[in-house]
Chain A
């Protein structure tokens, strides 16, 4: 066996707390190790060339790369092995950055931990065998869940590229929350106009099917051929989708959670969304006194919403501007924590609004008390450090974004993880911001965290591009990590058959042994750990690998 060990410095990230030189020297003495090198950036072009050259010159049959976590650059190194005519499943990645150099500060301790981790990888890799990836055909169709701006923009892109698109919307009308918005900054267009434009684009296309007032009743299968069952008003509908984009948006924060604001008890206290609707019909005195409260349902640890909702400052500015435009002599006061006018041009917009006469007071509002004469706001001015009490005719709460109502249901259906704020979690915040842990399932729009209209449209389109890349190939590789049965050892006790969730294990009555239906096997390894006679093993994670890994980690070998 000829193993090549390549230890990455990752610039200073690994080298800083792990003695990589010592490690590469140390592993040179191991009998099965042919090459042991350390390199500043193994993932770089020259780094890859070095590995390739070693494989070709030394005839390596195992490659161990000790660097970042296996999920990063996984495909990159796999491709590298493929290019060098080596089976990609003979690659072992050892995470010495996320699991070692970044979690400890002591050079000596970290070097020792890294040594053991690499050793475990080395012993485990000794049991690796070449595996063949299975190729499955991919249906060129996409299911898009949610007909808001991000869903619509994803649908527009995919259908333009010739994919069959199934757009599912829970409500009777497409457009989501954006439809209700007026004079959206910075485009200065009504939401309805934007939505109508997008819907019109889709309406002319034959490869788009839109289901409104529809929910998803069942979802199963694997990438390339997901089986979807929809509950439409006309009854149940079944279809096959190659991939999914989940764009279920957000739920507006409900200020009832904060009883001190008295929202819902007095009709003069409204949210920004209600203001959009009722702006023209509000009964106000001639020169109204209006208060705008920022950060309602955002940056508030007490109610479990520590995040910034990103859009509500601009919304608050829009309210102030709308009031000032309509009634120049009104008194408009904004109570803010910090004005975070996020998008490009937001800061200028903030200044414009100030120039129009909206007053900004940095304050913590403690309570709103409705009286017949007006709404009394009590709070603390955080710049002066003084308490204040002022009376207004109308209070507009600039509400933030809460996770969508269906988040848990959708997370279970599509196997998406929720983050700490209960939004959908992306596979990697920077490198894979549209992907989920499951292949072919993407997230778009504000269901993965607060986003404004522009960002949501971009996010939707970006997810669509990523999905298109997968679908357009027409085929996909499936990981060959499936179970196999050794019929000689199988005693026919059928324990695995009862345990298997995927129902991939079938009993052969004639031979009294079980066998695995490869297409159905999900690769969890439950049967492997259930089998009392060790007759089943999960490819890519066989008992011997894990046994040796444990031994190496505990220094028993």
Chain B
């Protein structure tokens, strides 16, 4: 029997309310389009993201997860994003051991960079979609 799976990836994004979430608001206001599979969870700071959240998202069926915060030096909470960077780097090593390295991404998007936000999420989405459907018959 043919396995009934969704061909379109689901991506959970953890977005800092001061930058990335603002950028996503702006992207919406500018009517920029990005895939519907990208869904955001608003967090007060990217450092609020416990690696457990990312693992949970993947375990519960998301095809990818990203954490997005302010550019280095721009953190509203002074240096929260530096902690995020370390945590995610460690988490990526772990993901790598399970060959899931590309399921996790960390990127910096400032409140003004709506276009960058859209480019980043769309890029990630397309990459995951390609991998997901590779080897499958159309």
Contacts and interface: CB of A to CB of B under 8 A. Distances in A.
Interface in A529-556: 529-530, 538, 540-541, 543, 546-547, 549-551, 553-556
A36 interface: no
Contact of A417 (B31, B49, B51, B110): B110
A527 B83 CA distance: 11
Contacts of B43: 525, 541, 546
Contacts of A371: none
B28 A415 contact: no
A523 interface: yes
A425 B24 CA distance: 15
A546 B41 contact: yes
A102 B31 contact: yes
B31 to A, nearest CB: 5
A100 to B, nearest CB: 8
Contacts of B113: 420
B50 A417 contact: no
Interface stretch (B56-64, B97-105, B123-131): B56-64
Contacts of B41: 120, 546, 549-550, 553
Contact of A554 (B10, B28, B45, B110): B10
Contacts of A522: 77
Contacts, number: 139
B80 A524 contact: yes
B36 A524 contact: no
A75 to B, nearest CB: 16
B111 A501 contact: no
Contacts of B48: 524-526, 528-529, 538, 541
Interface string B23-49: 011011101111010011111110111
A102 B28 contact: yes
The CB with the most chain B CB atoms within 10 A, among A104, A120, A417, is that of A417
A553 B65 CA distance: 12
A214 interface: no
A116 B29 contact: no
A526 B25 contact: no
B57 A554 contact: yes
A116 B25 contact: no
A553 B12 contact: yes
B78 interface: yes
B33 A554 contact: no
B132 interface: no
Interface string A489-523: 00000000001011000000000000000000011
Contacts of A419: 112
Contacts of A554: 10, 12, 57, 60-62
Contacts of A525: 43-45, 47-48
Nearest to B63: A554
Interface string A99-112: 11011111001101
A71 B80 CA distance: 22
Nearest to B45: A524
A110 B35 CA distance: 10
A95 interface: yes
Interface in A120-147: 120
Contact of A501 (B44, B62, B80): B80
Given A95-B25, A437-B18, A550 B74 contact: no
A526 B45 contact: yes
Given A98-B25, A116-B39, A529 B73 contact: no
Given A417-B19, A525-B45, A546 B39 contact: no
B39 A425 contact: no
A106 B36 CA distance: 10
B36 A104 contact: yes
A97 B28 contact: yes
A123 to B, nearest CB: 12
A281 interface: no
5 contacts: A100-B36, A113-B36, A526-B77, A551-B56, A553-B39
Which 5 A/B pairs are nearest by Cβ-Cβ distance? Answer: A98-B28, A525-B48, A524-B77, A556-B60, A529-B50
Interface of A: 69-71, 95, 97-100, 102-106, 109-110, 112-113, 116-117, 120, 411-412, 415, 417-420, 425, 437-438, 481, 499, 501-502, 522-526, 528-530, 538, 540-541, 543, 546-547, 549-551, 553-556
Given A418-B112, A501-B77, 15 more contacts: A71-B25, A98-B24, A98-B27, A100-B36, A104-B33, A104-B36, A120-B39, A481-B44, A501-B79, A525-B45, A529-B50, A541-B43, A547-B53, A550-B60, A553-B39
